[in-house]
A = this chain, B = another copy of it.
Amino acid sequence: MKPHAPYGARRGAARPWRAYAAEAAPSWPASLPATLAVANAGARHPLADDGISLELRRRADEIDAAFNLIEPTLRGLAPLQFDAGFVPVAVETVRGRLGLDVPPDMFAAAWTTPLDMRALHARCVLGTFCRLVTRAFDRGLARLSDGEPAADLIRRWGFHALDITPCADGRLSGVVDFILRVPPAIVAFRESHAGAMFDVGESVRHWEQVELRRWRDGVPNQPDAPTRFLKIGVYHFSSVDPGHQGCAAHGSDGVRAAAALLERLEQFAAAVRLTQGDAADAATLLIGVDTDTDAVRVHVPNAAGWMSVDRYVDNLALYGRTQSLAREAAKDAIRAAVADCAGVADDDATTEGMRWLCGYVLKNNIGQIDAVRAWHGGRYDDAGHTERLIVVGDPVDDVQLRNLAFQAQMNTVEEAASDLDVGIRILRGLHEPRGLAVPVLVHFRYDARIPGAQAQAQVRARRLSGAILARHAALAARGLLHVQAVVRAGNGTALADVDPAARPELVAELH
């Protein structure tokens, strides 16, 4: 391990630990929803961040509202399908209410062939997700911390890139923006897998890519800077119903989930150390999420860099212990809890950077715990799954929200069959009883500068779509599985249909 504390001990203490993110966030109108205003009247944690939390709540409401319009809209159209002049009415209704352009022939019903409302519903869900992606929510709410860009700050404390692997479970769909509250600028990679069981070789390739850019371009910093690549693994558990609402990939056993992920993190760190030369190093951090409260457990590494499944800072308890303190005292309490968990003095120089990072995560997450308390009475009403779709292929991070999507990164079903099956099983349980199909978005990114890259991405998207339909052919034949392939020229651009006829076109943005 390299030494990581070139700045002197407790440098963080000299700066106010208040997030300035609210200054960067767009201003919001005075007329907040009544529920917000009422809920916010309760007692707040001194480290709560209303600026970020309110903006996230507004975003959550917008996303929920968009999806919640789909069923009533289509339900209202269904009884009218045999009426004369129905088709233009339906097209206009879907365009006006959902912002989606559905090809008119999808509304052409006959008395022997009524509308395929399942397919229409799935297409509208996928279309709405794609529309929200192009909505371009401001994901940099937490871009500033202590008035300093988060990326600079994190680098100053010893980390030049974050690689986050959460579980594919939809309750972690908001892990970056809501639960950890870290800005995308510092997240070099976010790839989800069932049970967070990432491929070690793929993570080493991430490390290599970041390292090569440092050497070649000095981005994000010079290779001799005393900073490390940090791989964060995020498992989850349920405090309300631990035996049933935990991680499906690990038999709803939180300890098993944590132990398996810790082992994988240790394999990754060893792989970097042993294959990349003497000076090579990668930091790892194990984090657990209680999906009922969004509170994290941070498994703080000890002085030797080792973590343990049993040794962690429980942020829900920490929230309780610090709720009535003054801001500075609350921050001191976090620092003390982290140092205690690491088993070091709170001015230990070797562990300083990692302890700062753990404190940063805990403090950010206190804002989310506080928001869940304010708006959901401390625990979500739905302990379980309510995902609206499955996203596979390359990651999509533009739209974040708890229980929005079961998202599993994969190139092939052959390698990720169990990930896919977990997702299909979960969404089938949610959708089939309501007579709905499981909507699956197959998504691959490409670099538009490279000749042939778009065509190659389309080939991959078609291939993965075909493999999903082949594996779940019976479900698809019954109209209970709907797969749509899209490709995208990098983040910030629209998702383009690989087969344009298969999804309603986007209308000009509603917002």
Contact = CB atoms under 8 A, between A and B. Distances in A.
Interface of A: 200-201, 205, 208-209, 211-212, 215-217, 223, 263-264, 266-267, 270-271, 274-277, 279-280, 411-415, 447, 449-453, 456, 463, 467
A271 B215 contact: no
Given A200-B452, A205-B205, A414-B467, A447 B212 contact: no
A271 B453 contact: yes
25 contacts: A200-B450, A200-B453, A200-B456, A201-B456, A208-B208, A208-B209, A208-B212, A211-B212, A212-B215, A215-B215, A216-B223, A263-B452, A266-B451, A267-B451, A270-B450, A270-B451, A271-B447, A271-B453, A274-B450, A275-B449, A411-B412, A411-B415, A412-B412, A412-B414, A412-B415
A228 to B, nearest CB: 15
A470 B217 CA distance: 46
Chain A interface, >50% SS class? helix
A489 to B, nearest CB: 13
Contacts of A264: 452
Contacts of A414: 412-414, 463, 467
Contacts of A209: 208
Contacts of A413: 414
A275 B449 CA distance: 8
A265 B223 CA distance: 31
Nearest to A205: B205
A452 B467 CA distance: 28
A464 to B, nearest CB: 8
A223 B215 contact: yes
A80 to B, nearest CB: 43
A279 B216 contact: yes
Contacts of A280: 216
A453 B266 CA distance: 12
Given A200-B450, A274-B449, A275-B447, 16 more contacts: A208-B212, A211-B212, A215-B216, A216-B277, A216-B279, A264-B452, A266-B451, A270-B449, A271-B447, A271-B450, A271-B453, A274-B447, A275-B450, A411-B412, A414-B414, A414-B463
Most-contacted residue by chain B among A216, A271, A274 (CB, 10 A)? A216
B276 A216 contact: yes
B217 A277 contact: yes
A452 B267 contact: yes
Which has the most chain B C-beta neighbours within 10 Å: A223, A264, A411, A451?
A: A451
A453 B217 CA distance: 32
A414 B267 CA distance: 27
Contacts of A208: 208-209, 212
A277 B214 CA distance: 12
Contacts of A467: 414
A80 B354 CA distance: 72
Nearest to A208: B212
A223 B215 CA distance: 10
Top-5 shortest CB links A-B? A215-B215, A412-B414, A274-B449, A414-B414, A267-B452
Contacts of A266: 451
A280 B209 CA distance: 14
Contacts of A267: 450-453
Contacts of A277: 216-217
Contacts of A216: 211, 215, 223, 276-277, 279-280
Contacts of A447: 271, 274-275
A196 to B, nearest CB: 15
A357 to B, nearest CB: 25
A106 to B, nearest CB: 30
A260 to B, nearest CB: 11
Contacts of A452: 200, 263-264, 267
A411 B199 CA distance: 13
A271 B449 CA distance: 8
| Residue in A209, A212, A456, A467 whose Cβ sees the most chain B Cβ within 10 Å | A212
A280 B212 CA distance: 12
Nearest to A263: B452
Contacts of A201: 456
Nearest to A213: B277
